[in-house]
Structure formats: structure tokens, C-alpha cells
């Protein structure tokens, strides 16, 4: 027994014993000669599995709507001993896949585990990992899905905020037009005006003391910072409102003439209606008086009232 190795565990004993023995080089690595016995180095434990990304549709990077395939490979385990997990940001935990269908499926293929994502969306991006029985988890694989959605235009300083295809403005006021697009990375914005060659590289377009010359069509364009094919644009037509000071000055004379004329016509109409109404009332009163006199004609001089007659006399009595 070699001194100092009496109470050592077997593995430590073997390692230390090997350090004291002569070495022999061989084609398969180092071997140790211990009293006529040959010992190979201890086999290392199995390493963690590895996640590989198959070439996605359209190539890399992964665009929204593409089909994505991840493969999990291990030196020790076959597909049955492997599993995929995805990190849930809301729960702050790793969840097995497929926890929910959502276009995700897992299958075994030629001794490896394959994860397929059909039509990748923003909800599919995140951290994935692979587990093998008796081995540590694989390195984290971050799946990124690149996208750029529609643009939304708004006007700051107004009660509503959102705008349509056209937006009125008053002469002399400040215009602040904002452009926003939802994207996987912060987009690059630029404003331009139809018929002019200037460009403002910002999501906010500010026009101080807007006038008639600022009316026209403005366009905001948003594009992905690294993928030129991902870009959107939206246009807005700015129209000078007729309620502005410029409109009032331009139409002051017309208003000065139109208002007195309308008042005069109103007075003439009212006066005419009054005359016609009084004339009709006078004619009606006269007709009623004449009708009343005809029904109360006396049958003798000095009589004020007529005498009802039940006979059909044709010769009235007159004194």
C-alpha cells in the first residue's frame, strides 16, 4: 500500500495513484501503468443537450409568420428522454412545451426531439431550453421574431388625439403630429410633405404658427432599423379650417352685407304678414256684421226683434 492513500475514496485514490505511476503514450490518449495493470482515465459525465435552429423560411432573421424548427440533441439520451421548456415572463418560471397548442408541436425524429412553430408571432419569442434525463439543462436559446405593424397617427394638444384621413387646423395655431408603429425593435421614423423634398427624421412633426401655406398632404414612414423590407407608411391631409382668423378677414365684407340684408328681409316679411292678417280679420268681421243684420230684419216699423213664424205667409204685415 502506498503511504498516504490508505483511507482515500476509490476515485481519488485512483487519481493520486496514477500521478505516482509512470506514463505510457498511446494512440487513444494517456494510459497509466500500475503494477502491470493498465487504467484508462475516468469517463466524464454526459454534457448538457444542445439546441439547434434549422434554417427558417426566408432565411435568418426570423420574420413574423415564418415557420420555425428547433432541434434538441444529446450524446447520451434519445428523443424519448428529452424535453423542451419555454420561460414564461408573467409567471417567472420555465414551462414544458407544448403547454398550449398555439401553433407549437413537439415530436421525435431520428433520435432527436424537434419543436415546430407554425406561423411565428410575437407571443412565440422568448427563451427556450432543452432537458435530458440526468444531465444539466441546455444553454438558453433566445428566439426573436422580427415584425413591424401598422402606423397610428395622432395629434397632440387635442381632446380626441386620434386623426382620420384629413385633419382641420386654424390659422396661427401650432401643429404637433405624432407617428407610432408597434415593432420588434424601435423603428426609425421620418416625415415628408407631398410636392416638397424636405424630410424630418423624427416621430414628431411640429409646425409653428401654421398658415394657409401649410395645408397639404403629409406622410409618416416607419421602417425596421435592420430589415429594410419591413416598413410602413401613412398619410394625412391637413385642411385650413374656415373658422380661423384668415377666413374671417377674407369674408368680413360678405358678412357685413349679408347680415343686414337678412334682417331687412325678415322685417319686411313680418310686416307683410301683419298687414295680410289684419286685412283678413277686417273682411271677416264685416262679413259677420252683414250676415247678422240680414237675419234680424224687422217686420214692422220700430220693431227691434223678429217674430218666429211657423206658417209660410207670403204677405208680411206692415203698418
| Three-state SS at 256 | helix
- pLDDT, residue 226, reads 92
- pLDDT, residue 10, reads 37
Dist. CA 224–CA 234, nearest whole Å:
15
- pLDDT, residue 258, reads 78
Dist. CA 248–CA 4, nearest whole Å:
108
Query: Among 67, 236, 241, which Cα is nearest to 164's?
Result: 236
Same domain? 152 vs 239? yes
- pLDDT, residue 249, reads 46
- pLDDT, residue 153, reads 92
Note down the domain range covering 230.
148-245
What separation in angstroms does the CA of 312 have from each of 308, 309, 315, 316?
A: 11, 8, 9, 10
Buried b / exposed e across 75-94, counting CB within 10 Å, b at 16+?
Answer: eebebeebbbbbeeeeeeeb
Same domain? 153 vs 241? yes
Assigned domain for 159 exists: yes
Dist. CA 165–CA 32, nearest whole Å:
84
- pLDDT, residue 1, reads 40
Assigned domain for 274 exists: no
Same domain? 201 vs 229? yes
Q: Which residues have CB under 8 Å from 41's CB, separation 6+?
A: 29, 30
Number of domains in the chain: 2
Same domain? 164 vs 123? no
- pLDDT, residue 277, reads 87
Per-10-residue mean pLDDT of the chain, 319 residues long, equals 42 44 43 36 62 77 91 78 90 85 84 90 92 85 92 80 81 92 94 93 94 93 94 93 55 68 86 85 79 57 55 55
Considering the entire predicted model, what is its pTM? 0.56
Q: Which residue has the cell 420574420?
A: 63
Same domain? 236 vs 193? yes
- pLDDT, residue 253, reads 59
Same domain? 208 vs 132? no
- pLDDT, residue 238, reads 93
- pLDDT, residue 273, reads 86
Same domain? 54 vs 107? yes
CA 307 centroid distance within chain:
96
Query: Among 232, 191, 194, which Cα is nearest to 216's?
Result: 194
- pLDDT, residue 182, reads 92
- pLDDT, residue 160, reads 61
Amino acid at each position: 500500500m502506498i503511504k498516504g492513500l490508505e483511507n482515500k475514496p476509490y476515485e481519488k485514490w485512483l487519481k493520486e495513484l496514477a500521478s505516482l505511476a509512470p506514463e505510457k503514450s498511446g494512440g487513444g490518449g494517456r494510459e497509466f501503468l500500475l503494477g502491470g495493470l493498465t487504467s484508462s482515465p475516468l469517463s466524464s459525465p454526459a454534457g448538457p443537450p444542445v439546441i439547434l435552429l434549422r434554417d427558417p423560411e426566408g432565411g435568418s432573421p426570423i420574420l413574423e409568420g415564418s415557420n420555425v424548427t428547433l432541434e434538441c440533441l444529446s450524446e447520451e439520451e434519445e428523443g424519448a428522454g428529452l424535453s423542451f421548456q419555454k420561460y414564461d415572463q408573467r409567471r417567472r418560471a420555465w414551462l414544458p412545451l407544448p403547454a398550449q397548442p398555439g401553433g407549437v408541436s413537439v415530436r421525435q425524429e431520428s433520435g432527436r426531439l424537434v419543436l415546430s412553430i407554425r406561423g411565428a408571432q410575437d407571443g412565440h419569442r422568448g427563451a427556450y431550453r432543452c432537458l435530458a434525463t440526468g444531465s444539466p439543462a441546455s444553454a438558453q436559446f433566445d428566439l426573436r421574431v422580427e415584425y413591424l405593424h401598422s402606423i397610428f397617427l395622432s395629434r397632440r394638444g387635442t381632446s380626441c388625439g386620434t386623426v382620420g384621413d384629413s385633419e382641420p387646423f386654424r390659422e396661427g395655431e401650432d401643429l404637433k403630429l405624432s407617428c407610432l408603429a408597434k415593432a420588434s425593435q424601435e423603428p426609425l421614423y421620418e416625415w415628408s410633405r407631398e410636392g416638397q423634398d424636405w424630410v424630418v427624421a423624427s416621430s414628431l412633426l411640429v409646425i409653428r404658427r401654421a398658415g394657409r401655406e401649410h395645408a397639404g398632404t403629409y406622410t409618416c414612414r416607419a421602417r425596421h432599423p435592420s430589415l429594410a423590407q419591413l416598413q410602413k407608411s401613412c398619410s394625412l391631409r391637413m385642411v385650413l379650417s374656415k373658422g380661423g382668423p384668415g377666413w374671417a378677414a377674407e369674408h368680413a365684407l360678405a358678412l357685413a352685407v349679408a347680415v343686414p340684408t337678412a334682417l331687412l328681409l325678415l322685417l319686411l316679411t313680418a310686416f307683410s304678414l301683419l298687414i295680410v292678417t289684419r286685412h283678413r280679420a277686417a273682411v271677416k268681421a264685416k262679413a259677420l256684421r252683414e250676415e247678422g243684420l240680414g237675419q234680424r230684419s224687422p217686420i214692422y216699423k220700430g220693431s227691434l226683434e223678429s217674430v218666429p213664424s211657423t206658417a209660410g205667409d207670403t204677405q208680411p204685415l206692415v203698418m
